Amino acid sequence: MNSNNNFSSLNIELTHDEREALSYLNSTNKLWAEHFNTMLMPSRDKITQRLITSLHRENLVNSRERSNIVDISNLPYSLNTNCHQVLKIAFPTTDKTLYAPISGIHAFDRIDVQGPFYITNQHQIQRVLHPETILNLILSEAPHLNNEASEQFLDDINNSAANMAIALSFQTYQLADVTVPLFELINQHQDPYLRSEQAVIEGHPLHPGAKLRKGMSPATTINYSSEFGHPIPMHFVLIAKDIAKVATLDGDYNSTIYHQFKGLHDVALQHVSAQQLEQYYVMAIHPWQYDNILLKEYQEELKSGQMIPLQYDINYFAGLSFRTLMPELPITTPHIKLSTNVHITGEIRTLSEQTTINGPQLTAILNNIKSTDPLFSEIEADTIDEIAGIHFYHPSDSSDVQVQRSEQLGTLFRTNINQMISSDTVPLIPSSLVATHPLNDETPLVSLIKLYKAHQNIESFNKASIEWFKQYSQAILDMTLPLVVKYGIAMEAHLQNTIASFNQDGSLNKMYIRDFEGLRIDKVQLNQAGYSTEHFHEKSLILTDSKTTVFNKMFYSTIQNHLGELIASIAKSCDNRKLESTIWSEISDIIDVKLNQIANSMSESEQSNIDAIRQTIFAPKIDYKCVTTMRLEDEADYYTYIQVKNPLVRK
């Protein structure tokens, strides 16, 4: 058995995506290319790890039922790992067994594994060299999944593994001599929030398509992805009012945008007269979309003068969400969410019509709720305004192309977080709280709790962790629970859709929830609470009549994804095996108290929903979203769930 992790010593072939990436790096930066070779196997292992974790947790092809946990010392094989236990999964059709070293066992039936991984077959043991090997095992047990969806999924994991290697090798190359903790790197940056977004090198912690950039070359991936930190020249165009639709939070659309971008109005007047300008809106376009979509597919509108490119000079930077861009301090113009025809974590990331139209309306509803309901008056949480949206809409387009053409050119403007935070606080995207870098494995989460422990004179790291999480959890639940219980609004407050601002002592100052595209609303409940959805976009997928759908959206994003990921991370950084369950018990108490507060703010007739939510949220088992199953079964339009053990259970 060859247990070496070095790619070249394993003598294996590159995939098409890996060959392209290595060829590009060799032509531009030989040293980076050397790092790429070194990081190829770790990168493949990280995508494989996500796939194995999903495979077991989702019980895909009955894998959980055919698995058990064994001590390394009891294996007849020698594995290259420092872990003490291994997850063993049998695949009877091929008579093969997968061995995945276990790095942690956590709430919601989560078993974290880490490479290298191994497969045995008739007493022969081989190292898993690519996540495709795991996919093939799945398909051998479920041949009906061997179809177009699984072929696309294979393309996705190939692309993700290659892009993971580009990202990880850039990090090892760029930070080769840096030994301080990541939090220090972020905090010392002139724009800590932007730096925190750029620090999330590995992407989605659970999704096998974590680094998917299908449709982009290695060069454009490097130019436009957050971890590489390149300035991105934002493009602006004038678009005739008769081929666009707009929405604003307050006032006139053009006035809003020109007010935000100093000098943009003057640039527009260099192309048309003041009178003509009244016939146009102004919109921002991602440069990749500008070059690859606008100039190729909207030539008629450009030739006719219905769309006019503007020469306005402003650099933005990519956030962790590829299509959301932001300026660097001291510039505080809006964050901008844009259409990009790039395949990322399972979807083409264009911008739906409903997102640009509904965002400002949802902002107005949320702002009214926060200002009138005492439940939101003294909490350490807020939402971030979506101030204006626009999308292309040509009334003469046939129905089969109208949606595509509209969604390819959409823009949503969001308040810059640096205009909202206290000046002496440090804003971070929570995804960065569990990130590290090559020469220091201390996460910002650990750094913050260490700060908190020192400033609060708490005797142990474990106790400091519990107190820190109580405040952090309280903040996010103070916003998300009342909204879903009382108003039927399920915020999608996962690690990427929130911003946490921290005090100098490491404690949370305020939690901010952003991005209303993926939330869900119980239309009847919100209407009964006095808020109309009459002017929402007619294709609004966020509106539903399913209370289960609404609850699951809130629970998965806020509790399973956001809090679950942070708690699992801190559990790995301490020596107390009971710490994780203790934190979950404290969160259960917080939810219990908060539900009582919500009930006391409602009339008896309004409280019928609370008992049902109590029964669900404190039940022994609860739904978990199956991200890999959904991809393989091609169920992108609705969610698939499995029941998992619930750490919030109350007796």
> Which domains occur in the chain, in start order?
7-174 (3.30.310.280), 226-372+385-416 (no CATH), 419-645 (1.10.510.40)
pLDDT band for position 601 (cuts 50, 70, 90) = very high
The predicted-structure confidence for 295-318, as pLDDT tens digits, reads as follows: 999 999 999 999 999 999 999 999
Residues in a beta bridge with 125: 120
Model's pTM, two decimal places?
0.94
Mean pLDDT along residues 575-599: 95
Angstrom CA distances, 45 to 149, 288, 346, stand at 22, 30, 20
Q: Examine the pLDDT at 230 and tell me if it is beyond 50.
A: yes
Q: What are the two backbone dihedrals, phi and then psi, of residue 119, each rounded to the nearest 5 degrees?
A: -130, 135
Query: By percentage, how much of the chain surpasses pLDDT 90?
Result: 83
Q: Does 21 score more than 50 pLDDT?
A: yes
- Lowest average pLDDT, out of 172-176, 429-433, 605-609, goes to 605-609
Q: What's the pLDDT tens digit per position in 381-400?
A: 999 999 999 999 999 998 88
The pLDDT assigned to 372 comes to: 97
Total number of residues shown for the chain = 651
Contacts of 377 (CB under 8 A, 6+ apart): none
How sure is the predictor about 4, in pLDDT bands with cuts at 50, 70 and 90?
A: very low
Q: What local confidence, expressed as pLDDT, does residue 206 receive?
A: 72
Mean pLDDT of the chain: 93
Tokens read off for 531: 């808020």
Would you state the pLDDT for residue 347? 56
Residue 35: predicted pLDDT: 96
pLDDT at 2: 36
More confident residue, 608 or 177: 177
Whole-number pLDDT of residue 3? 39
Task: Among 7-11, 239-243, 413-417, 564-568, name the one with the lowest average pLDDT.
Answer: 7-11
**Left, alpha or beta for 594 (phi > 0: left; psi -120 to 50: alpha)?**
alpha
247-303 pLDDT tens trace? 999 999 999 999 999 999 999 999 999 999 999 999 999 999 999 999 999 999 999
Q: What is the rounded CA–CA span in Å between residue 109 and residue 62?
A: 15
- How crowded is the C-beta side of 468, counted as CA atoms within 13 Å? 32
- Going by C-alpha positions, the residue among 378, 447, 388 that lies closest to residue 185 is 447
Query: Can you list the alpha helix ranges (DSSP code H) found in 374-533?
Result: 399-408, 444-456, 461-487, 523-528
